[in-house]
Amino acid sequence: MIVFPWLERRVPEFGKNRFRLFGYWKFLFILFPVIGTAFCARAIEIRSRDPYYSAVVIDADSGAILKEDHAAAQAYPASMVKMMNLFIVLDDVRAGKLHLDQPVKISHEVAQIGGRQVWLKEGEVFPLEELIYAMMIHSANDAATALAICASGSKEAHAARMTAKAQELGLHNTVFHNVHGLPPAPGQEADVSSALDMARLAKALLEQHPETLRYSSIVSRDFRKENPVKMINSNKLLGHVKGCDGLKTGYFYAGGFSITATARRDGRRVIAVIMGCKDPNVRNAEASEWIETGFTKLSSQEIPEPDLAMGSESESSSISSEKEISPLLPEAPPTESGKREWLMPVLIGLPIIIAVLIALMILSRKPRG
């Protein structure tokens, strides 16, 4: 068998080393799509850092900001967008347009959704409320898509409704482009929001639809009677932080690990949002700490007026007017990797690496003798 005949004709002794070289190429053929896929997924600006990119804790009753750190900076909410998906669905249930027990038939489009899922199959039928459980407990992207199409006719229409609802609620740093929070597909923009917007979204959701906690407080549950999927809640604060009963986590590479968490104690409730952690354990620890800080400030009555402007890290008792920034132009925290990582350097660099490997093999061949 002749491998790479063009090189065999032009490079002396290529034939003797062709199988060794083919081993290099075989390795690179496997490596190329892996690297290419990884870099495609990272072709948006990185918005994560240690210990977090942004954070806030608010009083769920008044909306007062108890503590914040770059809370107005735009970041990637990832699967936390499912809170707004749920908001739209529950709005429609309240309006009588949808019913919790109505059957939802799974389409081919829904069955093709990737990421975390409950493996919905085309033609299956589930009650709408079962899909809500799947979306909020297991963060199932296929269930989120099924709910969106059921409520609005298409993913695009539902995402538009989600953005319109964000504007209605005054979430000016928030724009939704999809209904599940997956990383943006080629040609698609990423969903963006801020820690403060996510906290205010959670506040409004709990006020208008307190039944949300029925879904977000469950640690695990089975989905589907035959061949069930064991749904596991990724909110590890449930059962570990006193009074915690929701709401939603989120993750993809560029956005890091995020969480919108809420807890209720002695008749008072706080909502804490941590966005852009490098590590899920750090995210959980920070969220727990910020919840504790929130309750401490509530008990000591160190509560500022609601809707204060966001700046760099500030305690509730000392938010400085000198650091005020516009909610529409939020100050971004420093990042370890604030640059954009594009695919083009990979496309340019890999052929160079391949050429170097070929050259090294040729140069290392034994001289004739």
Q: Which CATH class is domain 54-323?
A: alpha beta
CB 146 within 8 A of CB 112: no
Query: CB 261: neighbour CB atoms within 10 A?
Result: 30
Q: Where are the domains of the chain?
A: 5-41+349-363, 54-323
Q: Report pTM.
A: 0.76
Asked if 254 contacts 190 with a C-beta cutoff of 8 angstroms, the reply is: yes
pLDDT in tens, 218-271: 999 999 998 899 999 999 999 999 999 999 999 999 999 999 999 999 999 999
Three-state SS at 11: coil
pLDDT: which is higher, 345 or 134: 134
pLDDT digits (tens, 9 = 90+) for 2-53: 444 444 444 444 445 544 544 554 444 445 544 544 444 446 899 999 999 9
| Cα(247)–Cα(205) distance, integer angstroms | 10
pLDDT (0 to 100) of residue 353: 73
Among the residue ranges 65-69, 225-229, 330-334, the one predicted with the least confidence is 330-334
Return the pLDDT at 303.
55
The confidence score (pLDDT) of residue 185 equals 84
Classify residue 172 by burial, with Cβ atoms within 10 Å: 0-12, 13-18, 19+.
middle
Question: In which region does residue 280 sit, left (phi positive, over 0), alpha (psi from -120 to 50) or beta (all else)?
Answer: alpha
Average pLDDT over residues 125-145: 98
Q: Which residues pair with 244 in a beta bridge?
A: 263
CA angle 244, 246, 248 (to 5 degrees): 135
